[in-house]
Amino acid sequence: MPIYEYACQSCRRKSSLFVKGFSTTFVPRCQHCGSEEVRRLISRFAVVKSEQSREEGMDESAFDDLDENDPVSVARWSRRMKDELGEDMGPEFDEMLERMEAGETPDDMMGEEGGDDDLDL
């Protein structure tokens, strides 16, 4: 059962539409404004790797320039791993990486937000 993504030509927003089967006929509509003037997008997809293939692809040289006490180094390593896995971690993750690349530590960010409940690293 596929999920298709569409770009609305009226409001310019993206909608993800769940289709209950391949033989189901439906008229796609924007989830935001209801317009039928939508264009199907090519969606991102994930490639599932076995745990063994992930381990084989990770050699110790991936950690050569990692200094866990340096937020810039940790952010650079995290960004490389995110790109390697091909995962979209969301805008919050990217914002945290940008702040760490600017030199902020996770402790600095947690103190600003009033606790660790809001911080997902």
Taking CA atoms, 16 is separated from 2, 19, 34, 60, 104, in Å, by 10, 10, 13, 39, 35
Query: What confidence tens digit (pLDDT) does each residue in 10-56 have?
Result: 999 999 888 776 666 778 999 999 999 999 988 666 666 666 655 65
Q: For the whole prediction, is pTM greater than 0.85? A: no
Domain boundaries, the chain: 3-40, 51-113
Q: Please, are residues 7 and 35 in contact by the beta-carbon 8 Å criterion?
A: no
Q: Please, are residues 36 and 28 in contact by the beta-carbon 8 Å criterion?
A: yes
Q: Which helix (H) or strand (E) holds 78?
A: helix 71-85
